[in-house]
Structure 1
Amino acid sequence: MLLFTPGPTPTPESIRHAMATPTLHHRTKEFESIFAKARLGLQAMLNMEEVLMLASSGTGAMEASVLQFCHSKLLSISCGKFGQRWGKIALANNLPYTELATEWDTPISVQEVLEALQSDPSIDTLALQVCESAGGLRLPLEQIAREVKTYRQDIIIIADAITAMGVEPIDTTYIDVLIGGSQKAFMLPPGMSIVGLSQRALEALENRPTHKGGLYFHFLTERKNQRKNTTAWTAPTTLITGLVRYFEIVQALASSNLDSALESTFAQELDPTLLQQGFAKAYTHTKALALATREAIAALGLSLYPKSPALAMSAIAHAKAAEIRASMKALGVNVAAGQDHIKDSIFRINHMGLIHIYEASYVINALELSLDALGLRSFDGVGNASFFASLQAQKAL
């Protein structure tokens, strides 16, 4: 069964092998060496002042960020189920908040955010997604962040990049907190969140002695420990070992193709320059597959759901979405439904992680065969013809 859901994503064999090595005690020099490599890889990827690894899902990092940075009022952006989570976090912690909501296929505008801030000077924190995975929507995060900081430099901007980190380059110039998760583009099992922090965020933590985040999720405590290549509490050792292997694959990608990179030997050291080159190739590869998949979708007479689609996944709107998913699963491809009220009106095909072209092609073939089996259109191979034509045009073959 090919797993093409937008998280968890498949874990490559070489990462599974890395995580299957004997477990190390987390208070040893041997694990500190592994932890240092993981930090180096994240710093090269995020280009932020500090990076933290937490033993939690992404929601844990979301809640920890809101509680430690929002001291007056939160402005939460809800363009889908995961954007709604910001408001739920505020509500559960008796924190004042204002929510701006859109239809799940529509991104919030810069102007709407600015008007909300202008109408309420008590807002000190803005929380939003990079990619709202409930409907495959990409928000104009970087533009919003730039305009917000131009209006008020002191507002802390928290961005959930769980389904964008590792998929595409994210400009973190105006972002204070960037959240990631292990089970997406990193191709690891669930259970670890990642937090990138700006210099502004660190100063805000240090200048606000009152800590509302509880004992476990205390970013300053974690920073103190993680800068020494250890953690305040028990580290997710297996996942961190797998993360290092992911970065070794990315580094190998700088000078080889995907197959060779996935099968590369364990690197002695990680090099920031080679990592940057590897990330560039990984981002290009993911974008090529996403755009080629969308060409195939259009050729098959189907339409994307979001008005501003994210590269992390293709969310396809169809009245028979549930039947199409079931048919594709019978052909060996597991794609995801939508969330809540759009559960049965869209299906989502993942592009996160280092996906082989032949696997993505198989998904397109399964989709076209399913449309034929359901009497929606006759199979003529146009899906894969369009898919490969797009890859050829992008020079991705």
Structure 2
Amino acid sequence: MYLSKQDRDVLRQLGSRYMEIAVLPVQKEKISLWKSLNRGAMQRPMVVIDQHPWNELNITGALTCQVQDPYWRGVEGQLRKTIYAWDHFPVDMVVDPFIAIPPSMTNSGYGINSVTTFLAKEEGSVASQHFENVLKDWEDIEKIQPMRLTYNSHQTVQYLEEAKEIFKGIAPVRVRGMQFHLGVWDTISMLMGVETIYYELLDRPEFFHAIMERFTSSVLSGIEQANALGLHGDTLNTCHCSYIYTDELLPDSGAGKGPYSQNCWAFGMAQLFSSVSPDMTEEFELPYITRMAEAFGMIYYGCCDRLDDRLDIIKRIPHLKKVSCSPWSHVEAFAEKIGPSLVMSNKPNPAYVATDDFDCDLVRQDLQRTYDAAKRNHVNLEFILKDISTVRHEPERLRQWAEIAMEVVCQ
């Protein structure tokens, strides 16, 4: 593979800046704070900003990639995003002192594709979509296939050797493992449409149990293959945007216990179940997520779903460590129920950075309300601002949000 001198220089310059950040003493300090939170002995609530509207943040061109080769362009893009986030709104992010490159591998997924119509799309933004139902009859379930992982070890070694040469004298290099998304309901919603699912749960519950059995078997097959190939990401430092340093699995940067599922985190969710009863969560989600979660060392559960009204069910998921408290959850009820052994992973409302005029007081009130609820109940708390669709092309809003958040958690 040929990279021009110019491309190599670009990567080396970014790698140098990345390592300047990665070796700062504050990285170790933040790891210590995250480990305290994750062991249930929080020193203070932690703060993360993730899932950025990158198309709106590239005002100065700092995020514009220059490398031509697609693989190394991806590495360049990740370096640029990490550096940008650190320079503008680092909050409690941690930058590991090595550059991680992706392996040469493919994942077949579930062998079935959605049929999608884009309803409205602004370039670079979240798109509104309509999904056709492709799982109409029992025979359609056969379309759901076992997950197949294909790993090209020879190509991965080539990438690793080239990376070592590119970043020689600048940064250590490691191959990044994979992380499993156990939220199969997200995929099903794109194969059937959410409204269709709600009707079918009522009209044909046995049909959905068959679908879930098929999806669960597919995921379990993928987990087993990743174990056999040693592809699980035991050195990844985040799971679903949350930092996951723990004494048990990741006590320090890169200090994983081996690339196997029992040493790793995975995350799950059933977002559309916010509009079904807790009993349906117990029947159609818990048995299946339980089987998948058993394979992993620790689990992060939830995303935009409301969970305060069914925490008793969610807390039965094996190896559960963190639970999402979305803007649709009642934060006081959530804090009262979560208990001391889990982390309340609060998702501040991203709509507050998308309003016509940015309201600092509204942001502070939102964060303070959750902070107070967690403090009253002695809850381990993290704030994760994510799913940020827009900041109205005003990147400064994220810096302002970060400053307010750190003031709240450090009070």
TM-score by length of 2: 0.26
TM-score by length of 1: 0.27
